[in-house]
Each structure stands twice: as C-alpha cells, then as structure tokens.
Amino acid sequence: MSRIERAEVFVASPGRTFVTLRITTTDGVTGLGDATLNGRELAVAAYLRDHVVPLLTGRDPARIEDIWQYLYRGAYWRRGPVTMTAIAAVDTALWDIKGKTAGLPVYQLLGGRSRDGALVYSHASGTDVPSLLDDVERHLELGYRAVRAQAAVPGVGGTYGVRKGKLYEPAATDLPDEQPWDTEAYLGFAPTYLEAVRERFGFGFHLLHDVHHRLTPIEAARFGRSVEGCRLFWMEDPTPAENQEAFRLIRQHTTTPIAVGEVLTSIWDVQHLITEQLIDYVRTTVVHAGGITHLRRIFDLAALYQIRTGSHGATDLSPVSMAAAVHLDITVPNFGIQEHMGHPDEAAEVFRTGVTFADGMLYPSDEPGLGVEYDEKAAERFPYQRRYLPVARRLDGSVHDW
C-alpha cells in the first residue's frame, strides 16, 4: 500500500510570494498544495514545517477525509487563517495525488462536470474615470464577460483597487503602505463612475464592485441603493463580516446583490450568513478555507439556500489554488463566478498552470490530478521577499477597516 514518504515546503517570490507544499508517496506520486496567506506567508510555512509535515509521514494518502479531520480536530486549536491554510495545502495535494493515482482529472473525482467552464471576472481600474473606462474596454476586448470596476477617489491618494503596474498587486511594499481613506468622498464618487461604465458600455456584461469592508452597515445600504440602476452583479464585502447580523440591515434597504467571504476560513464562519440568506454569493476559497474537501461543504450548504459561489482568486492564490478552484467550480451546481487576476510573468517560470482562459471562462486541464507542475530549481531564482498589504487610515489618522 502506498504511503506518504515526505512532504516539502517551498517559499519563493516569482513576482509575488507563494508558499507551496509538495507531498510525495512511496510510489513516487507527487501532489501540490498552495499554502499562501498574503502578508503572513512565513507563519503558514512554519506551521507546516514544524507542526504538520511530521504528522504526515507514513499515512495513507488516499484517506483524504481522515487526514483532514485529523489535522483539524487533533490540533485542539481550531480554525483561523494559518491553520486552515495549512490544512488546505495538505488537502489539495492529496486530491492531486488521488487524481494522478486514478488517472483522472480531479473534477472527475468530484462527480464530473456540471458545466463546460467557469465564468470569470477580472479587475479594471483607473486613476480617473476616463482611464477606468479605457481599462474596462481593454478587458472586454480580451473576452471577459464580467469586469470589476474601481477608480481612485479624487483628492484621496492610494485608493484601494487601482492598479499601478501591469497587474494589480496590493501587497507591493516591504512594510505596509499607509493610505488615506475618505468614506464620504467615496460614497459620492463611486456611483458616478459605475454609472459611467454602464452609460458607455451598456448592460451586455456583468459589472462588479469591491467595497472592501470599508463601510458601516447603513453606509453600505446607502451605497447599494444608489447603484441599483447599474444592476451590479454584486457589491463585494460592503462591511466587515465579524458582525454578520449587520448584513440584515443592508438587505432591508437595497436589492444590490452582496458577496462576502474571502477572509473567512470555515463553514462555521459563514453559517449564519448562508442560513439566514444575508448574502447572495459566498467568496471563500480553496487555499484559505481548508482545501477542496471543506470548500465543497461550504458550497453544498450554500446551495440549500440558493446562494451561489464566487470564490476569491486574486494574485495571492498560486496557480495550484487556481487550478483546484476551477476543478471544483465546474462541478458544483450552484456555481456563480470565479475571480481571475492572472499571475506575474515570473510565476510562469516556476508553475506550469493547470487552466486555460478562453471567451471569458477558465477551463481545467484533463490531465490526471490538477494538471499543475512546480519547478523547484526555477523557484530558487526567486528568493523570498517580504511584501505587505496597505493599511487604510481615515483623514483623522485612525486605522480604518481593510
């Protein structure tokens, strides 16, 4: 019987930092898992190396559920982003191994296709309205059927979501960039540029917007109502999700769909949001919510309440996670949309991706497992570089919600 022979943790920064777990069986089969936690990568790497890897040697890699429960229940300290990201890496690697052993792509092990591909959205942004409109046009010409739109608020430097280079990468500085934030200025400006997008391009594509936790519930309700004419696919993270009952107030004032969950890590974190139907899309992701095994449970719960999926897919998900996400996306009955930002060019030197983009959709590889490869030698050319997300501060100098 095949057993886990070794597990290795790699940290590299090919354009941005990724933590990758590689599990090898006594039969010589390898599986990859993503363990990247943006801005806290080394915490997960240490958790894996010091506390998880020693527990894996000699275990049966086919017992995915048993290993998941062992790592979750056996640690006593449950949940949290570091723990759930580490478990996710192990879980994803084991699904990769199971697919390779069976000679099937992972989506076949999950029940086969429910759809041909996964609808994705990408990020358009601008320093002002004209540059935003140009970027929306560029994404539509690339074939995207869904676009997220963000523009810099006039007079407020460093507005969240505005790309400064080829790719939008918020974790771009060695220490956190402290950026100003003005809620009233944002509430007055954001609806105008979303309306400008609709006025120029019409309603033949999905339009999304990310509030990024920065409004109070009543402010979010006000914003949602003000953009109802734009028919947004969703407004993302309108208010921090710690107080989940707050979403009921937003619901009472607007019909703009709500998407939440990229910073939530377990089914218990989203249980109330789902069962009370306080959101329309759940954005939990493979890498931060316990891997394929646990994310599928979240999606199954959401399906009971007519809530669709909309997983996080920013550049802090490595090609391993993106492949795993798409394998799951095409199987679940309540799929909604998948975020897709792409990766830096340097990442292609380290990872061979397991997905392809065409006509606004992502398609998984039909190779056994996830279809992703990791080049350890290439990764050595990209040593770890510390990068942090920015910190928002109100005009009075106090720290704002992310």
Q: Which residues are catalytic?
A: 160, 212
Q: Which amino acid is at 293?
A: T
How many other C-beta atoms are found inside a 10 Å radius of the C-beta of residue 48?
Answer: 24
Q: Which amino acid is at 224?
A: G
Q: What is the DSSP letter of 239?
A: S
Cβ neighbours of residue 354 closer than 8 Å, sequence gap 6 or more: 319, 320, 322, 323, 326, 364, 365, 367, 370, 371, 372
Distances (CA, A) of 112 to 128, 318, 333: 44, 24, 11
Query: CB of 122 within 8 A of CB of 341?
Result: yes
Pairing of strands 391-394, 178-181: parallel
Question: Which residue from 267, 265, 255 is spatially nearest to 305, judged by alpha carbons?
Answer: 267
DSSP one-letter string for 71-124 = HHHTTSS--SHHHHHHHHHHHHHHHHHHHHHHTSBHHHHTT--SSSSEEEEEEE
Query: CB of 371 within 8 A of CB of 356?
Result: no
